[in-house]
Structure 1
Amino acid sequence: MKLHPIEAGNFKLDGGAMFGVVPKTIWNKTNPADNNNLIDIAARCLLIEDGNRLTLIDTGMGNKQSEKFFGYYSLWGDHSLDKSLANVGFHRDDITDVFMTHLHFDHCGGSVNWNKNRTAYEVAFKNAKFWTNENHWEWATKPNPREKASFLHENIIPMQESGQLHFINRPEGDFGFSKEMGFDIFFADGHTEKQMLPHINYNGKTIVFCADLLATAGHIPLPYVMGYDTRPLLTMGEKEKFLNAAADNNYYLWLEHDAHNQIITVEHTEKGVRLKDVFTCDEILK
Structure 2
Amino acid sequence: MRLYPINAGNFKLDGGAMFGVVPKSIWQKTNPADANNMIDIASRCLLIEDGNRLILIDTGMGNKQSDKFFGYYHLWGHDTLEKSLKNYGFHCDDITDVFLTHLHFDHCGGCVNWNAGKTGYETAFKNAHFWSNENHWEWATKPNRREKASFLEENILPIEANGQLKFTSLPEHQILKNSELGFDIFFADGHTEKQMIPLITYQDKTIAFMADLLPTVGHLPLPFVMGYDTRPLLTLDEKENFLNLAVKNNFYLFLEHDAHNEIITVQETEKGVRLKNSYSTQDIFN
TM-score normalised by length of structure 2: 0.99
Matches within 5 A, 1:140-159: 140-159=140-159
CA deviations over 1:17-53 (Å, ceiling 9, x no partner) = 0000000000000000000000000000000000110
For 2:127 and 2:180, how far apart are their aligned partners in 1?
A: 17
Q: Tell me if structure 1 keeps the 8 A contact 2:7–2:44.
A: yes
Q: By how many angstroms is 1:180 displaced?
A: 1.0
For 2:176 and 2:142, how far apart are their aligned partners in 1?
A: 27
For 2:33 and 2:251, how far apart are their aligned partners in 1?
A: 29
SS in 1 for 2:177: strand
Q: By how many angstroms is 1:179 displaced?
A: 3.4
Equivalence for 1:214: 214
Give, as a single letter, the amino acid of the residue that structure 2 aligns with 1:135.
N
**1:229 matches 2:234:** no
Equivalence for 1:265: 265
**1:201 matches 2:209:** no
CA deviations over 1:69-93 (Å, ceiling 9, x no partner) = 0000000000000000000110000
**1:54 matches 2:54:** yes
Matches within 5 A, 1:164-183: 164-183=164-183
For 1:170 and 1:136, how far apart are their aligned partners in 2?
A: 10
Equivalence for 1:87: 87
Q: Tell me if structure 1 keeps the 8 A contact 2:60–2:109.
A: yes
Give, as a single letter, the amino acid of the residue that structure 1 aligns with 2:107.
H
For 2:78 and 2:122, how far apart are their aligned partners in 1?
A: 24
The CA RMSD over aligned residues, in Å, is 0.5
Q: By how many angstroms is 1:154 displaced?
A: 0.2
Q: By how many angstroms is 1:137 displaced?
A: 0.2
Q: How many residues align?
A: 286
Same amino acid, percent of matched pairs: 73
CA deviations over 1:142-189 (Å, ceiling 9, x no partner) = 000000000000000000000000010112111022431100000000
For 1:23 and 1:157, how far apart are their aligned partners in 2?
A: 38
For 1:282 and 1:128, how far apart are their aligned partners in 2?
A: 27
Question: Which stretches in structure 2 are left out of the alignment for 5+ residues?
Answer: none
Does 168-177 or 73-82 show the bigger shift?
168-177
Q: Tell me if structure 2 keeps the 8 A contact 1:169–1:178.
A: no
Matches within 5 A, 1:1-286: 1-286=1-286
Q: Tell me if structure 2 keeps the 8 A contact 1:11–1:75.
A: yes
For 2:129 and 2:141, how far apart are their aligned partners in 1?
A: 19
For 1:49 and 1:166, how far apart are their aligned partners in 2?
A: 19
Give, as a single letter, the amino acid of the residue that structure 1 aligns with 2:104.
H
For 2:40 and 2:80, how far apart are their aligned partners in 1?
A: 16
For 2:257 and 2:107, how far apart are their aligned partners in 1?
A: 10
Instruction: Give the 4+ runs in structure 1 shifted more than 6 A.
Output: none
Q: Tell me if structure 2 keeps the 8 A contact 1:168–1:178.
A: no
For 1:210 and 1:85, how far apart are their aligned partners in 2?
A: 21
For 1:270 and 1:171, how far apart are their aligned partners in 2?
A: 33
Give, as a single letter, the amino acid of the residue that structure 1 aligns with 2:200.
I
Q: Tell me if structure 1 keeps the 8 A contact 2:208–2:253.
A: yes
